[in-house]
């Protein structure tokens, strides 16, 4: 990689401000999914429309992204507005379009974070260190998976070697950007959508599936994320229910030293 070239994630989430205050983005082949771009990068790009806004207040606390329609390769337009700014919180509405069609909607809550009483109730998973595990070979998987160093503790891509039906839908893995990149809200937002659809882990085999709506809660501030540097984070995800064509997913993203950085939830369409 050219030392002066931007990281692929920065290139893929880059937005250019237009005269009418809208933003123009462009899908990036480095994060291509089977059809259209990886949804995690779309989520990060929607968040970036607020993060990069001159009126932005504080850090992101909550982000909801709805995948309304397919995003074709190429340019898209984002309109992002702070619909309400309070003393310490700010609410955003964000819409992406291609032509006249809405492809993605999002809402975000930003806030000035401050030190308070703190407690983590969920336990850090018992896992071996990242360096002791083998990296997943992306092989024939979608291009975006090659932008991550994923080291599965359990619940990896169904490779046909497992029994017909796994006992549960849990995946636990170490993950970091590849090439390495300092952790920030953009990379964390994308990583929250990097888990393969739970239905594929549970069956376990390939099933047509896609995220419909994604909500992430950020438990770390800018400073905490910056302290992570390029270290891998630990992700764990599970579903609670599959039925009527949709399943949920709840995920946690932990720092290497056991801080809960984000919790993330999504509802996923599947055909089975």
Round to whole Å and give the CA distance between 138 and 197.
16
Label residue 88 left, alpha or beta by phi (over 0 means left) and psi (-120 to 50 means alpha). alpha
- Least distance CB 77 / a second copy (angstroms): 14
Taking the C-alpha atoms of residue 249 and residue 239, their distance in angstroms, rounded to an integer, is 4
Query: How many CA atoms lie within 13 Å of 154's alpha carbon, on the beta-carbon side?
Result: 14
Q: Residue 43 CB, nearest distance to a second copy (Å)?
A: 14
Smallest distance, Å, CB 137 to a second copy?
A: 28
Site of interaction with a second copy (CB under 8 A):
61-62, 64, 66, 68-69, 83-84, 86, 89, 91, 93, 95, 101-103, 105-107, 109, 111, 113-122, 168-169, 202-203, 212-213, 215, 217, 219-221, 238-246, 248, 250, 252, 260, 263, 265, 267, 269-272
Phi and psi at 168, nearest 5°, equal -155, 180
**How many other CB atoms sit within 10 Å of the CB of residue 69?**
14
Specify the residue, 152 or 246, whose C-beta has the smaller distance to a second copy.
Answer: 246
183 and 163 in contact (C-beta within 8 Å)?
A: no
CB of 171 to a second copy, least distance (A): 13
Other residues' Cβ atoms within 10 Å of the Cβ of residue 36: 18
**Closest CB 246 distance from a second copy, rounded Å:** 6
Closest C-alpha among 190, 189, 196 to residue 173 = 196
- Nearer Cβ to a second copy (156/178): 156
CB nearer to a second copy: pick between 119 and 132: 119
Nearer to a second copy, 56 or 203 (CB): 203
- Minimum CB distance to a second copy smaller for 93 or for 182: 93
């Amino acid at each position: 990689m050219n030392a002066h070239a931007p990281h692929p994630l920065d290139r893929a989430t880059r937005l250019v401000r237009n005269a009418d205050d809208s933003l123009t983005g462009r899908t990036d082949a480095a994060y291509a999914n089977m059809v259209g771009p990886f949804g995690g990068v779309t989520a990060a790009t929607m968040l970036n429309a607020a993060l990069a806004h001159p009126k932005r207040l504080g850090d992101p606390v909550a982000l909801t992204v709805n995948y309304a329609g397919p995003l074709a390769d190429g340019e898209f337009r984002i309109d992002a507005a702070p619909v309400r700014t309070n003393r310490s919180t700010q609410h955003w509405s964000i819409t992406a379009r291609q032509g006249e069609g809405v492809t993605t909607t999002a809402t975000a809550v930003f806030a000035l974070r401050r030190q308070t009483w703190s407690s983590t109730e969920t336990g850090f998973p018992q896992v071996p260190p990242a360096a002791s595990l083998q990296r997943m070979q992306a092989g024939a998987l979608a291009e975006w998976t090659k932008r991550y160093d994923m080291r599965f503790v359990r619940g990896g891509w169904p490779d046909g070697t497992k029994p017909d039906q796994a006992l549960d839908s849990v995946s636990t893995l170490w993950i970091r950007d590849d090439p390495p990149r300092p952790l920030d809200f953009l990379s964390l937002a994308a990583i929250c959508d990097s888990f393969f659809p739970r239905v594929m882990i549970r069956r376990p085999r390939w099933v047509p599936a896609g995220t419909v709506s994604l909500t992430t809660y950020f438990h770390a501030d800018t400073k905490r994320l910056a302290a992570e540097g390029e270290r891998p984070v630990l992700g764990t995800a599970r579903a609670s229910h599959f039925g009527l064509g949709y399943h949920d997913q709840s995920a946690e993203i932990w720092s290497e030293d056991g801080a809960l950085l984000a919790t993330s939830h999504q509802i996923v369409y599947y055909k089975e």
